[in-house]
Amino acid sequence: MHVIAHDPYASADRARAIGVELVNFEEAISTADFISLHMPLTAATNKMLNDETFAKMKKGVRIVNVARGGVIDEEALVRALDAGIVAQAALDVFTEEPPKQDSKLVQHERVTVTPHLGASTIEAQEGVAIEIAEAVVGALKGELAATAVNAPMVPAEVLTELKPYVELAEKLGRLAVQLVAGVSGVKNVKVSYASSRAPDDLDTRLLRAMITKGLIEPISSVYVNLVNADYTAKQRGLRITEERIVIDGSSECPLESIQVQIANVESKFASAISESGEIKVEGQVKDGIPHLTKVGSFEVDVSLEGSIILCRQVDQPGLIGKVGSILGQENVNVSFMSVGRIAPRKQAVMAIGVDDQPSKGSLQRIGEVPAIEEFVFLKL
């Protein structure tokens, strides 16, 4: 089947992630061969299916309602069944429960009914129990919870799509705050999302929460999550603004890059200061792995795994070998190394990914290499 859906609250990216085409209500009821209802009973949904809407449906449509009985005008449904507009109806819910034994709807030969038992089957109860257990285990492991009742709703399929970008967002926040000299002064942060999707087709609440987590946790004892991120930022006077940059490209990929800027602060690594005066770090997801791609005005490419050493140096032969030898002598494994430079033999920034934390002595020896002008060790 080709699945279409009308949902005034679902985002286009959520629908796309599960292979569903979003349409308006009129199109949904007029083109569907099967209509399945999934909604609460509210003033807006009360008798949503009535004589007027049945008249717009295809002749021979089949209707399934396992939501709430009141969303269908039951007398109108009987008329639609008798007129042949509705070929069959399957109902688990009714306006009055239990329905009267002489109900025309229940007794109708083209209606299949069950006594509101969708959640009472062995399979449903087992499924709920497993889902709760998995959610609790995941939360205890620090994973994102799609079912937290006191957090913004982020559908599971959106969580899956954004997972590598969530990791990237948190690590960029951690990197940025560690570059600040005097972390108490972090007040203004700007986050830029580059994406080929329309601004209203990308839910960034989760990403903003993880950037907040990355900015705050390294300098405090507070544990930040999706529930308390905005509140924690507000309590600390941290103002995070977001910018969405629409670029050309495929909308299959939710994001091209994330950039984090911290304004009005000094940096312990001067090369992280952009031309406009802010600490700036930028990253991308490559093959499912978060990468640091820009520090200040210097382009690099290093996997955000383990920890990172950033060095500003005069670009010259043999420097990578010297730093690598210092780390190797202490059995510190180098996972990635990338150099971004202005021009050959000019200033450059070297980003080194390491699996282990070097000793203070090793870091001091790196800083004493004549061509290295400054360096910083950043723990992820």
Residue-level pLDDT at 184: 59
Indicate the residue type of 30.
Answer: S
Model pLDDT for residues 268-287, shown as the tens digit of each residue: 999 999 988 999 999 999 99
DSSP 66: -
Tokens for 88?
Answer: 């069959």
Catalytic residue among 62, 108, 116, 244: 116
Percentage above 70 pLDDT, the chain: 95
Catalytic residue among 68, 174, 208, 291: 68
For the whole model, what pTM was predicted?
0.64
Say yes or no to pLDDT of 183 above 60: no
In degrees, to the nearest 5, what angle opens at C-alpha 41 toward C-alphas 25 and 153? 80
C-alpha span between 175 and 335 (Å, rounded): 17
Model pLDDT for residues 19-54, shown as the tens digit of each residue: 899 999 999 999 999 999 998 898 889 999 999 999
Catalytic residue among 97, 109, 123, 275: 97
Q: Which of 71, 93, 68, 72 lies closest to 81 in space, CA to CA?
A: 72
At residue 124 the predicted structure's pLDDT band, cuts being 50, 70 and 90, is: confident
In the chain, the domains with their CATH numbers are: 32-113 (3.40.50.720), 153-296 (3.30.1330.90), 306-379 (3.30.70.260)
Mapped onto helix, strand or coil, the DSSP state of residue 235 is helix
Tokens for 144?
Answer: 């994102």
**Has 116 been annotated as catalytic?**
yes
Please count the residues of the chain: 380
| Torsion 342-346-347-349 (CA) sign | positive
